[in-house]
A and B are shown apart, each in its own frame.
Chain A
Amino acid sequence: MKSRHKRIAIIVAGIALLAIAATLLLQSFQSNLVFFFSPTEVAEGKSPQQGNFRIGGLVEAGSIKRNGTEVHFTVTDTIKTMDVVYTGILPDLFKEGKGVVAQGKQGPNGVFIADQVLAKHDENYMPPEAADALEKAQQYKATAGEVK
């Protein structure tokens, strides 16, 4: 009888431990999910005011301005644009007119403060998120056209 109680206690403790672990795991998972928004969605106020998120699209031609290691540029999905500031060294394939994805926070006066800029190492490759943003913009324009 006693050993049976002991076994039950161990099993209960084990399950409790697993439950706690699973809760912590899922919590950490949820708080580290980074969502993606196109500049249009950001302009519509869909993006979070606090916390990290990603934006993407094309680097607008003529928008890159350097000031030492601080870089300003504009990301566009062909409908809306968004100003981005990033401090540091940009990836090799970061170019005007090319696809880009930036991760960071919404700063004051609408500037996006990026702590990470992604542009993959392949001339023809478009980051999937950036491609998605442009596609959405296309659809948006198409439906907007129909309404008129």
Chain B
Amino acid sequence: MMPDIGHYALILALVVAVLQGVLPLAGLPKNNEKLFAFATPMARVQSLLVILSFIILDYAFYANDFTVYYVATTSNSNLPLMFRLAAIWGGHEGSMLFWVSILAVWTLAVTFFAKELPLRFRSSLLAVMGLISVGFILFILFTSNPFERIFPAPFDGRDLNPLLQDPGMVFHPPLLYMGYVGFSVAFAFAIAALLDGRLDVTWARWTRPWTTAAWVFLTLGIALGSRWAYYELGWGGWWFWDAVENASFMPWLIGTALIHSLAVTEKRNAFKAWTVLLSICAFSLSLLGTFLVRSGVLTSVHAFATDPSRGLFILLFLVIVIGGALTLFALRAPSVGLGEKFDLVSRESLLLTNNVVLFTATGAVLLGTLYPLLIDAMNMGKISVGPPYFDTVFVAIMVPGIFLMGIGPIANWKKASVPDMASKLKWALGISVISALIVPSIMGRLSPMIFVGLLMAFWVMSSVFTSMKLRLDAIPSGTLTQKLKTFGRAYNGMLLAHFGLAIFIVGVTMVKGYEREHDITMQNGETKVINGYNFKFEGILPIRGPNYIAKQGQFYVSKEGKQVALLTPEKRLYPVQGAVMTEASISINPVRDIYISLGEELEEGGWSIRVYFKPFVQWIWLGCVLMGLGGILTMTDKRYRIKKVLNEQSITA
């Protein structure tokens, strides 16, 4: 009974979404305020209906209602409650419903927090979001209905993939989806602006906090996913350039370009058409990413041939959204105008370079991700693009960008002088070069890549401090705290995010440059010295989990007679799916992780074991968290809370 109500709620939501999408747009030509007035209530009703159907489906997971086919395939009555509730986004159908539900959350947020927008603009904004919702609900109802029933109901469910049974599964997808779908708001802002012909500083000011919010979610979502892969996949990697990861990374890159380009549009009324184009691209890549990950196309492009309706619908939807948006852009962009002029050396051109760099990097990732699919789809054989391609190309593209990133915050708008900036940054450069040589000498090995990585990290850090110092000096009087208060949060947030990126680069460089991997075999009771640490293997304990049984290794790690950690890697067996899982055990501290996972039990006795030493690996995620916090700080800047900001003199970015 309950699942049927969920299904009906979704059908009803479709009807309301159509009204939400069509009525306000119909009012546009004659500026019909009566039709505009429909937008907000329709949007709220639609969102609540979608969320209701989501809750009902999740209740089916809670109640172990295996008459629902989707529940029966992705859950099991022995699955712990936390994972049962999260299993809703463990498969294709549920993730699609989850996607629209997140869209509903964003729609509700717009109806409540974007009250300062003029009625006409807000109505077209909500209409665009309504139309996106229509597309997704249609897709769910016709090709991927999660409420489908199965009779007779199976006695128990087929269980969630053991790989997904982890707290990461509870938090990673919601954050990631909030990010993906959040770009739909930026997209809707762009489309509404094109429809309205209104694209100015005010528009950029409205859009910025929403775009930054989506970007923050995406940043944290990707970081969490990376950390999850690090400890769960058992092989110590944190980024694999896997198509699934790239699918989330591409919108992030374009989103990063977008928040920088929006800064120029808001401050200087420039880059207008470009900003709109980036908004369209960011959301298009989000859509592409959702479908790449969720449609099964990655497992095999020929999966589409076995279920053509799904594939056709996806392609059609992508064509309509991207094609429609780009056509509208082509028609309206000339009237938008390019905006204010600026000199070759200016903050504008530095930010433009930033955008070109990020755009190129996205292109390179897109090529490496889609090319193998394309070749496969045309039956030209199976190929894969190796991670070295992504590593080399990405680093080569990003290094000049990061160098300029150190200069950007110091450059003046409109016209900057090279000798002036050089004299401001000479200390920063000197300190970075020296630090980039000192650190490797402590670690005991220097390579060109290590030097470049550390140089970039220290360069960004020291330039952050230089920009702060320059600003403090520019304020004639007051104590340090008084001076700091005059900085806007947007400015501080920018510096914090840049600093976070520097921390991230430190982590990546140190791990890439100094990680150690040891594959060894150990007998019960044996002690081995690896990398200066004593590892004592105290044997295997049998463990029983809620829905698995495991063999747990006991490793006492000590250094110079002092106990460092007891590491307990596991080999788990999940009987429902008959799946074996390696569960790594990690000793974490700020400067190194010791990571151990169990291989196989050997015929001659003992176990094969893999031990990693990962210096500074936690800095990778710490850096991402700082970037996210920087974004949050920027969003809460007071100029976004005031209805009309008359004070144009602030120079924050």
Contacts and interface: CB of A to CB of B under 8 A. Distances in A.
Partners in one complex: yes
Interface in B372-402: 376, 381-386, 388-389, 392-393, 396-397
Interface stretch (A28-36, A105-113, A140-148): A28-36
B519 interface: yes
A36 B393 CA distance: 23
B385 A34 contact: yes
B519 to A, nearest CB: 4
Interface centre among A36, A52, A92, A128, by most chain B C-beta atoms within 10 angstroms, is A92
B381 A35 contact: yes
A87 interface: yes
B567 to A, nearest CB: 16
A128 B163 CA distance: 20
A90 B234 CA distance: 11
Contact of B386 (A32, A90, A93): A32
- Classify chain B's interface size: 35 or more
Nearest to A32: B389
Interface string B589-623: 00000000101101100001110000000000000
B289 to A, nearest CB: 20
B579 interface: yes
Interface string B292-305: 00000001100000
Contact of B393 (A29, A68, A122): A29
A92 B579 CA distance: 8
A34 B382 CA distance: 9
Given A68-B521, A121-B581, A33 B385 contact: yes
Nearest to A35: B383
Interface stretch (B26-34, B360-368, B546-554): B360-368
Interface in A103-141: 121-123, 125, 128-129, 131-132
Contacts of A52: 386
B579 A121 contact: yes
Given A88-B610, A89-B610, A29 B519 contact: no
Nearest to B610: A89
7 contacts: A29-B371, A34-B383, A34-B385, A35-B382, A68-B608, A87-B519, A92-B579
B520 interface: yes
A127 to B, nearest CB: 9
Interface of B: 161-163, 234, 299-300, 344, 360, 364, 367-368, 371, 376, 381-386, 388-389, 392-393, 396-397, 519-521, 577-582, 597, 599-600, 602-603, 608-610
A32 to B, nearest CB: 3
Contacts of B376: 128
B243 to A, nearest CB: 12
Contacts of B610: 88-89
Contacts, number: 92
Contact of A122 (B161, B384, B388, B609): B161
A69 interface: yes
B385 A66 contact: no
Contacts of B384: 33-34, 36, 54
- Classify chain A's interface size: 20 to 34
B579 A36 contact: no
Contact of B600 (A25, A33, A89, A129): A89
A117 B417 CA distance: 54
B360 A21 contact: yes
Contacts of A35: 381-383
Nearest to A131: B300
A9 B32 CA distance: 52
B560 to A, nearest CB: 28
A29 B392 CA distance: 10
Given A89-B597, A89-B600, A90-B600, A28 B393 contact: yes
Nearest to A89: B599
Given A28-B393, A29-B367, A69 B519 contact: yes
Contacts of A123: 577-579
A25 B396 CA distance: 9
Interface string A22-54: 001100110111111000000000000000101
A28 B389 contact: yes
Given A89-B608, A121-B161, A10 B344 contact: yes
